[in-house]
Structures are given as structure tokens and as C-alpha cells.
Amino acid sequence: MLLLRTLLQMPELRLSLQTGEDQLDRTVTRVYGTELPDPSRYLSGGELVLSGLLWHHSPQDSETFVRSLATARVAGLAASETENRSLPADLVDACVRHHVPLLEVPVDLSFATITERVSMELVGLSRHRRLLNVVAEGSGLPALLLAGGHELNAPCWVLSTAGRVVAGGELLDRVTLVKEFLQADRLPKTVRGMTLVPVSERGGNRLTSWILVVGGEPQQEAAAELASLVGLERLRQAQGRQIENRTAGPLVTAVLTGSADVESRLAAAGLENTRLRVISAVTSDQRTDLAAAVLEETLPQALVTPVGDMVYAVAKADDSLPDDVREAMRVMEPGLGSSRVLIGISSPVEWRGLRGAAEEATHARRLGERRGGRTCVVAGEEIALYQLLLAGVPEELRTSLRRRLLGPVLDYDAEHGSDLTGTLKVFLDCSGSWTAAAAKLHVHVNTLRYRVGRVEDLLGIDLAEFEARVDLFLALQAG
């Protein structure tokens, strides 16, 4: 809605109010220029009438002209003398009597400039109404994006910061576009012929924003307007997800505690009769809001809930899920700031195995803590049983066990600058094969036999015994 008051606030027009200060909230529907003494037959109401007063010859002319404007219920009159003189006093008086706001136009400002500026504003309002109608009709994000593309005369897409196309067709270079968005100093930004506009950041974090992608370089105001309406659609989806996630907390609690009502809670969440995965996520700075946002953007169909300083999710099992999460984390990494994100994913299970799946996801995440990288995603399928067992052992206990089993060898290496520990590891990794281990260490077999014999003497064991090998293997992995 364009008001007279708004026109007075446009510095490029330099309009000044002569009368009608209490009527500035009138709505302008169009611009109409005239020099007719009585233009009422051409007016339908709401016009901003522009006139150079060529019809003005006497006070009666002002009365006739202004009365016709009042009868037609125009928004106001913007007038200018063709010569550098003030507006006629009788015109001002007539406008006061008939309650027609009067704006004076600077002599050096053309009516074409006013018409163009006001028309642009009205076009924008019409565009906004059309797009808002799409939102009000509940046609959904694809329909809004299609309508927005028509208004901007450019193709449009919406991306999540996980690199997922939320709406729109296939988009090349989407990963590059997301990374450019996350690292941009200022937005909007044009990258590879695409303009990136932020959509409804949550908590001021760009990582939780959607991205409106518009082909070319559209009018910024129009693009920002579409982004704001996409934000409304996102809010609607977020509210729907929030309702769905109300079942997540009780479900995850039931899973972690082994409650008997897991099956009924799965049914309430629409996850009955399907194989599932449990996902555990944590950040290095214990930001559950960030961990939850990462999982929600990465797994839009999952149920997500915080538990203490961790976040858990339950999702339908998909063979590609671990790889999808890894790819999403690689895309999101530039937006993580100083946080490190660790994610563990269980193997697919039936509902009866959910408690074990939650433990597996937690252990997998703990294994990720010992690996490098800003992000680490570990899936249950890729973890050996001994790794899962060790992941469940506290750090202090692992260190103690390693010291108890390998202490003499560790001390010998420290004192003599040798690497009997490394020799032992290679020997066990090669399943006790003398030739394979010697070749890997680039030493003669007799040298290897001497080193391994030294280890046996220091530890008082016989590496020919399977149990001794298992104990030492686990001790080496615990470090």
C-alpha cells in the first residue's frame, strides 16, 4: 500500500506539503496527469493527480478543478507552476475547503520522474500482492518459487546450507554456491551468474539459513521481497516440523532407557514397520542448537531432539544416509565457525534393536572424537567390533589398560630411542606373518625375530598364544 506520506519521504522527489497534513495516510492507486479544468470523468479514486496549472486563470478555476478532484476521491494533488512562482493562494484555499491534500512539485522536477518513481512503487506493491496471494492460498513453496521466477523474469531455486535443493529443478554447482554463500562477507552476492539471497536466518546464524538463488542479477528489492515470502513458507514448514518433533523427545528417551512403549511411540511418529537408524551428534563447544540445526538441515525427514549436551535423531534407514550426511557436512563446514561437529550413525535395525543402535551411534561418535577434521561422520557399518568396544571405555581406563599391558615396552622405547611398539603393531597388523611384517618394516626376518623376541622378554609373554596377541592388539588400539 503506497501512502501519500511515503511520497513525501522520497528524497529524490523533493515534494513539499502545502495542506492536508491530517490526510497523508490516503492510499495512492495510480498517477494521472491532467491540464483539464474538470477531469472528474477520467478519475476513479485514489489517484495522485499531477498538474502544471495551465487551466488556472482565476480563483473560480481553482474551485472547479479542486471540487472535481474531491468528488472523485483522489488521493491528492501534486502541482507546480510552469514559471518559478509559488502556488496560487486560491488553489491552496480550495484544497483546504475540499480536503484535498496539496503537494508542491519543484519547478526543476519533471512530472515524468514522479510518474516513473510512483509507478515503480505501485508495480512493486502489485507484485507483492500477487506473491502474497500464492502464500495465502497455501500452494506451497514450489508454486511460490514459480510465481517469483515469473515476477523476476529469472529462474529461481531454494537451497539449504547442506546443499539440498529445497525447491526448484536441478541446479548445477549447488555445492559451490552454498560454500560461496557461507563464506561471503556481504549478501546478496552474485556468483557464476547467480544471485544468492539469504532466507530467514535462525538465531543470527547463516548456517541455519536457506538460500534463494536467482538467475542473473535481479532487482535487489524484488529479490529481497521474494526471499521474505520464502521465509514465511519456511516458517510454516518449521512449525510443522516442530509439531512432528514433539514425538522425538519421548521416543528417544524410551529408546535410551529401553522402555517398553518404544513400539507405540514409533507408531505415533509414523515410523512403525520400517528399518531405522539412530544418529548422535555433538559439537566441540556443546552447542545443541547448532547440532540440532545441522541434523535438521541434513536429514529433513528425521525426528531430532536434544538430550543433555548431545542431539539424537531417528530416521528411516537408507543405505546412502551416511554418505549423504558426510557430503552435507563437507558443504556446511565453512559456516561452522570455531565449532567442530561430530556425528555417529548406527547400522540399520528393526525397532527392537533401537537401544543397541543408539549405543552404537554414541560409540561411533566417540570414535570420531579421536579422528581429525572440523567435521567427522562415523557409521556403524564401518566400525570393527573391537573399535566399538573400545569406544565405550572411558579415556582414563583405556590409558590405564595400555600402560598395564605395554608399560615395559613403552619405557624401553623412551629410554633407548627405539620403536619396539611400532614393530609390535606392524607384526600384529600382519597377523603374525614374519615375511609380510619384515617386508613392511623393510628389515630382514632375523632382525624382526630379534625385535619381537625382545618384546616378549620385556612383557613376559609368548606371542604365539592367541590371547596374548588379542590383548596387545587392543592395548595398541586404545592409545
pLDDT tens digits for range 440-467: 999 999 998 999 899 889 988 888 888 8
Nearest CA to 300 among 379, 263, 365, 245? 245
The larger pLDDT score, comparing residue 282 to residue 229, is at 282
Q: How far apart are CA 145 and CA 128, in angstroms?
A: 13
What is the average per-residue pLDDT within 343-372?
A: 85
* Predicted confidence (pLDDT) at residue 32 exceeds the cutoff of 60: yes
Cell numbers found for residue 88: 496560487
Cell numbers 529481497 correspond to: 224
* Predicted confidence (pLDDT) at residue 392 exceeds the cutoff of 60: no
Indicate the pLDDT class of residue 215, thresholds 50, 70 and 90: very high
pLDDT of residue 125: 61
What's the mean per-residue pLDDT of the chain?
85
* Predicted confidence (pLDDT) at residue 117 exceeds the cutoff of 90: no
Cell numbers found for residue 431: 597377523
Amino acid letter for position 390: L
* Predicted confidence (pLDDT) at residue 70 exceeds the cutoff of 90: yes
Cell numbers found for residue 363: 560409540
Q: How far apart are CA 180 and CA 415, in angstroms?
A: 52
Cell numbers found for residue 135: 502464500
DSSP 432-469: T-HHHHHHHHTS-HHHHHHHHHHHHHHHT--TTSHHHH
* Predicted confidence (pLDDT) at residue 101 exceeds the cutoff of 70: yes
What is the average per-residue pLDDT within 204-233?
A: 83
Which residues fall within 8 angstroms of residue 290, CB to CB, at 6 or more apart?
Answer: 205, 207, 283, 336, 339, 341
* Predicted confidence (pLDDT) at residue 409 exceeds the cutoff of 60: yes
* Predicted confidence (pLDDT) per residue in 173-188, tens digit: 888 999 999 988 888 8
CB atoms inside a 10 Å sphere around CB 308 = 9
Cell numbers 507408531 correspond to: 267
Q: What is the pTM of this model?
A: 0.58
Indicate the pLDDT class of residue 395, thresholds 50, 70 and 90: low
* Predicted confidence (pLDDT) at residue 391 exceeds the cutoff of 60: no
pLDDT of residue 24: 93
What is the average per-residue pLDDT within 146-161?
A: 89
Handedness of CA 244, 246, 247, 253 (dihedral sign): positive
pLDDT of residue 465: 83
Amino acid letter for position 399: T
Angle at 37 between CA 35 and CA 40, to 5 degrees: 95
Amino acid letter for position 209: S
* Predicted confidence (pLDDT) at residue 396 exceeds the cutoff of 80: no
- Ranges 115-129, 378-392, 458-472: which has the least confidence: 378-392
